[in-house]
Amino acid sequence: MRSVTLAQARIIIDQALSAPRSSPDRRLAVAVCDAGGHLLAFEREGGAPPLLGHIAQAKAQTCIAYGKSTADLMDMAEQWPVWFEGISRVSMERMGLPLIATRGGVFIRDTDGSVMGAVGVAGEAGEYDEANAIAGIRSAGLAADAD
């Protein structure tokens, strides 16, 4: 299994942080995990609440742990809230990992579609978090779920 490199992760973070925002006062955190779900690179902008870093990392790790983007998981949680509550409990009890069901967690794929890792962006409205993650992935010459 090929994994995202540190150099690629830095490109992803830099681009995600420079992508458009709903307001210039919004502060972001971006986390990149490798294909095993381990944190590879992280950055939280000055002025961003510390919790955003944990949320960004949880978004990326949710993708790897459950095999779905956080947008897909959000749709599933809305459709089956009791099911989502159940898998969230199992995830916390067995892995110590909160599952995040809001946009902003996106798989990083190679040109063959194989998962190389995931990126999580937090601090904006979900659609911006997701768009910034995708922009970062594409800037590194990699593919996102939407490609």
Edge to edge, what strands does the sheet with 143-144 contain? 39-44, 29-34, 115-122, 105-109, 143-144
Which of the residues in the chain have pLDDT under 70? 1, 146-147
> What is the predicted pLDDT for the residue at 91?
83
Cα–Cα distance for residue pair 72/76, rounded to 1 Å: 6
What CATH code is carried by the domain that includes residue 119?
A: 3.30.450.150
Classify residue 24: in a domain, yes or no: yes
> What is the predicted pLDDT for the residue at 1?
63
> What is the predicted pLDDT for the residue at 100?
83
> What is the predicted pLDDT for the residue at 46?
94
Count how many domains the chain has: 1
Amino acid letter at 2?
Answer: R
Classify residue 1: in a domain, yes or no: no
Amino acid letter at 92?
Answer: M
Classify residue 31: in a domain, yes or no: yes
> What is the predicted pLDDT for the residue at 87?
86
- In which domain, by residue range, is 123 found? 6-144
Classify residue 48: in a domain, yes or no: yes
Of residues 12, 65, 70, the one with CA closest to residue 38: 65
> What is the predicted pLDDT for the residue at 20?
87
Classify residue 117: in a domain, yes or no: yes
- Is 78 in a helix, a strand, or coil? helix
> What is the predicted pLDDT for the residue at 144?
92
* 79-109 pLDDT tens trace: 998 988 898 888 888 877 788 889 999 999 9
Cα–Cα distance for residue pair 100/62, rounded to 1 Å: 6
CA distances from 44 to 7, 17, 110, 137 (A): 18, 9, 26, 18
- Beta strands at 115-122 and 105-109: parallel, antiparallel or unpaired: antiparallel
